[in-house]
Amino acid sequence: MVMEKTLTLGELISFTLFLGFMVAPIVQMSNIGSQLTEAFAGLDRTQEIMNMQPEDDGTSRNVQVGSIKGDIEFNNVSFAYEEGKSVLSDITFTAPAGSVTALVGTSGSGKTTIAGLAATFLTPVSGTVTVDGVDLSTVRLESYRRQLGVVLQDDFLFEGTIRENILFPRPDASEEQLLNAVKAAHVDEFTNRFDEGLNTVIGERGVKLSGGQRQRVAIARAILADPRILILDEATSNLDTESESYIQESLRSLMRGRTTFVIAHRLSTIRQADQILVIEQGRIVERGKHDELIDKKGRYFELYTYQARI
């Protein structure tokens, strides 16, 4: 066209530029549909959250607890996530202040549900859970949960530095308190290898750390929080043998003087518990200390010897 002189070079360049200017808006218009779909989905989730009833509505929960001693008692507690489908039935036991209670059983037996009730994440359908004689269903959550520490199997870490994640429960903690928690949880064992140390950015959910490293950060966070009641849900599940040996001593120090609930599939980790509750199908089928339950040769003995063979 240019060679035949029916189109000048300037007109060709202008046409090409105008064509480029048109392409971008057309592509953007084609994406509007998918963007609107994503926006409406996000709006639905936001509305769902905004319409949720607050846990602490200030009416049924109006008891403010001060510094608690830590005596936890379950009295004929039953619970169901769905009506007619019982998860726990007539659970009764006492966890004295400073004691360690281990919850043992197969997956789905109700161990985590018991821990959730002790943490006030759940409310019994019937029966009561009390702390120092006060019904937890009447206690203001903020006054109780600030004295509660939880270490989960898959703890949530935030985008930010290791330091910020450990300081999350106590932002005003001193540098000495922070470093003591870091040392107790053996976090310094790997942060010393990082150029930025505790100021290393770990990414969303701690993606830049291994499972064992994330677990140790979560344990350091719990140590710094200095709770009266502690819940450990598979707290050493993501640790290799060497890391677990580091953490076991730290956990023993952390549990000392605190009412502790330990959920563990590795039965070797709960041999020193003050009481072991064997949960099957939502009921306590055995209770006692490790040696007592081994001598009974019941369900705990079966679980323990099965793991020993693996």
CATH (domain of 147): 3.40.50.300
What DSSP letter does each residue of 236-276 carry, written as one string? TTT--HHHHHHHHHHHHHHHTTSEEEEE-S-GGGGTT-SEE
Q: What's the token pair of residue 91?
A: 């659970």
Global confidence as pTM:
0.74
Q: How many domains does the chain have?
A: 2
Mean pLDDT by 10 residues, the chain (310 residues): 64 76 76 80 84 70 82 91 84 90 86 89 89 88 86 78 86 87 83 81 76 82 86 68 66 78 76 87 89 86 72
Report the alpha-carbon distance of residue 238 to residue 244 in Å, rounded: 9
Cα dist from 108 to 227, 230, 283, whole Å? 28, 22, 12
Q: Which of 223, 228, 232 is nearest to 179 (CA)?
A: 223
Side-chain half-sphere of 245: how many Cα atoms within 13 Å? 2
Would residue 188 count as lying in a domain? Answer: yes
Q: What integer pLDDT is reported at residue 268 of this predicted model?
A: 64
d(C-alpha 9, C-alpha 238), whole Å:
67
What value, to the nearest 5°, has the Cα angle with vertex 245 and ends 243 and 248?
A: 105
Q: How many residues does the structure list for the chain?
A: 310
pLDDT of res. 183: 85
Residues 105 and 232 in one domain: yes
In this predicted structure, what is the pLDDT of residue 310?
A: 47
Q: How many whole angstroms separate alpha carbon 188 and alpha carbon 94?
A: 37
**Any domain includes 2:** no
C-alpha to C-alpha distance for 133 and 275, rounded to whole angstroms:
20
Residue 290 and residue 275: Cα distance in Å, rounded?
8
Q: Clarify whether residues 41 and 111 are in a common domain.
A: no
**Do residues 31 and 130 share a domain?**
no
Residue 290 tokens read as 């490790």
Q: What is the pLDDT of residue 150?
A: 84
106 plus 229 within the same structural domain: yes
pLDDT given at position 201: 83
Is there a single domain that holds both residue 101 and residue 35?
no
158 and 26 within one domain = no
Are 16 and 164 found together in one domain?
A: no
Same domain, 43 and 86: no
* Residue 92 and residue 19 share a domain: no
pLDDT at 73: 92
Q: Which amino acid is at 86?
A: S
Does one domain contain both 76 and 161? yes
Same domain, 47 and 166: no
Q: 85 — phi, psi (to 5°)?
A: -120, 85
Same domain, 149 and 277: yes
